[in-house]
Amino acid sequence: MELFPYANIIVGILLFVVGGVLHWIGQVVSVINWEFARKIGIREKNTLPEYEVYERGMATAEALIGWVYIIASVGLTYNISWAQTLAWFPGSILVYHSLSYWFWIGNQNKSGNSTTSNRFRIIWFLVNFVTGVMCILIAL
């Protein structure tokens, strides 16, 4: 089943940009040099120490699994059959990430420790959610 013409290429490119570049490379930079990541805007500057432990753990986890985004995106772009099955993994991770990010920032806002604008929260949620859902739909 094809979602729409050239869906595999569009989802592959979207996955490469959102998953490969924005997530994986961003998290690898964060793991290697947290202060540099703050300086260039990848990490929030005013994160409370008790939140930073979680943030560092998530950065490490995503840096370890993020290579799957690249492999799946290349496979989808070239319409390789196994890539559709592999797309389940980044799709699930990105849907999870979008939802957890939405609630994570919401909880920070409720506690008065907001580090992210509501506009960015909405955009980041939608970009991750849409990419994840499209990956899952490709995998069906």
Q: pLDDT (tens digit, 9 = 90+) per residue, 89-121?
A: 999 999 999 999 999 889 888 888 887 888 999
- How many helices (H) does the chain have, and how many strands (E)? 8, 0
Mean pLDDT of the chain: 92
pLDDT at residue 1, as a whole number: 56
Domain ranges of the chain: 7-139
pTM higher than 0.85 for the full model?
yes
Tell me the CA distances in angstroms from 74 to 3, 25, 41, 59, 135, one per residue in order. 18, 16, 27, 23, 13
The region that residue 4 occupies, defined by phi over 0 for left and psi between -120 and 50 for alpha, beta otherwise, is beta
Share of the chain above pLDDT 90, in %: 71
Amino acid at residue number 78: Y
